[in-house]
Structure 1
């Protein structure tokens, strides 16, 4: 009876030791993978942020021209168009800035 208990205790101990070693190895591999992914994401942040800001500038210019055309033709909803285009332009510029601030 005592031999069985001792044998089961040795099996349990070896199993727990193997499990601990496996988990620590997996956690070390995950840390290296996370570091690699972080460095790759950080390499893309500046170009993507600059591209979004440039798109926001182009949208602002296009919106300005369209609002000017509406204003010259005498449309009544010029103010609504100004707010829509200005909101879109502001959103794109803020997204570019927030992405840069969040990931850098």
Structure 2
């Protein structure tokens, strides 16, 4: 009989602890979501700025290769252009996925 009462008390204690833990967990998740969404707009603008700088550097490199008559110009242009497009698309997709 004493074991049953002890077991019942342990179950009751575990249930009330779980109830209180859920409330704090939900508040923590809400706070984390608000913090992440607050950082997304500046991070997206930063990625766009990095994409613009990469595009300018790539344009200068492609121009220098084209001016020197390097036959590998199209491959270099495609790789730099692909990097810029990837940065822009990745920022846009991340923004639409998380916000």
Question: Is 1:40 aligned with 2:35?
Answer: yes
C-alpha deviations, 1:60-86, integer Å up to 9, x for none?
A: 121112101111110010011011101
State how far apart, in whole Å, the 2-side matches of 1:54 and 1:17 are: 56
**3-state secondary structure, aligned to 2:4:** helix
C-alpha deviations, 1:34-92, integer Å up to 9, x for none?
A: 11000000000000001101110111121112101111110010011011101111111
Moved over 3 A (4+): none
State how far apart, in whole Å, the 2-side matches of 1:32 and 1:17 are: 24
* Residue ranges of structure 2 left out of the alignment (5+ in a row): none
State how far apart, in whole Å, the 2-side matches of 1:11 and 1:98 are: 54
Aligned pairs for 1:1-104 within 5 A: 6-104=1-99
- Structure with greater Cα Rg: 1
Aligned residues: 99
The TM-score with structure 1 as length reference comes to 0.89
